[in-house]
Amino acid sequence: MSILIGKETRLLVQGITGREGAFHTKQMIDYGTQVVAGVTPGKGGDWAFGSIPIFDTVSEAVHATGANTSVIFVPARFAADAILEAAEAGIDLVVCITEGIPVLDMVQVRAYLDTTHTRLIGPNCPGLITPGEAKVGIIPGHIMTRGNVGVVSRSGTLTYEVVYALTQRGIGQTTAVGIGGDPINGTSFLDVLQMFEEDPETEQVILIGEIGGTDEQKAAEYIASRMSKPVTAFIAGQTAPPGRRMGHAGAIISGGEGTAAEKIAALTRAGAKVARHPDEIADLVASHLR
């Protein structure tokens, strides 16, 4: 089992002919993902990598190939429209890698998505990967191995670091999900925790958060009341000063809210084991296996 993506994923790439889109499409194909179509307006009728048809619109691509998932590699000024186009075409899962999308654009996107069945991962995220089955986005496939630990994270870099440490210790993963660090995104910690709780193969979960917002506190409430599986957590940005953005657009302590201390306290009260530094995460996960 896995969550969100697997062997049944039929992926289309919006922005497949751009530099980033082309590079990462090749990586996803090499990993074994079923990439069935690309979308670049004005280049419909062309082919990518010799066998992947390119369409002018997502609707045409879905109709012709049965694509059920989209990954977006388009510039920020076009990305909100790309998300909306995918949702309007009936895509089940949209993964937006693009960073720098204006917050107001995402407010409008989120309002529309809430009226559809489409789930958005991101924006400004590394995507997700189910080891041995499919990867959608930019998470390096070679650091993953199949197992029973679910990973959900706001930080792409920390996701790579933690997953690599797990793999080095022989601890595999079910699915790793990078939800992104923007103030407004499509999928929250709470959403992914619920999926992992319901996934029979996932036996424990890693949550990697950061300063800013209250998503980690909401996740802690779910962990305390509904989660039956062990959770190991880490909060990045513990030394960040208030009012200064640290990396992601959403990683900022504002109005005295969103501090690392608040998040760590909430997760600890909920029963999660909270690592003091990233290197400790694999140790805490391993302790649950004994």
In the chain, the domains with their CATH numbers are: 10-121 (3.40.50.720), 139-287 (3.40.50.261)
> Which amino acid is present at 187?
T
Among candidate residues 24, 117, 142, 248, the one labeled active-site is 248
Asked if residue 22 has pLDDT above 70, the reply is: yes
Cβ burial of 198 (10 Å; 0-12, 13-18, 19+) is: exposed
Query: What pLDDT does residue 258 have?
Result: 75
Q: Contact 17/40 with Cβ under 8 angstroms?
A: yes
> Which amino acid is present at 89?
A
Cβ neighbours of 100 (radius 10 Å): 12
Mean pLDDT for the stretch of residues 171-185? 95
Task: For residue 277, indicate whether it is catalytic.
Answer: no
Cβ neighbours of 137 (radius 10 Å): 25
Residue 87's contacts (CB-CB under 8 Å, 6 or more residues apart) are 94, 112, 113, 116, 118, 120
Residue 83's contacts (CB-CB under 8 Å, 6 or more residues apart) are 72, 94, 96, 109, 113, 120, 123
Asked if residue 251 has pLDDT above 50, the reply is: no
Query: What pLDDT does residue 250 have?
Result: 47
Could you read off the pLDDT of 121-151 as tens digits, one per residue? 999 999 999 999 999 999 999 999 999 999 9
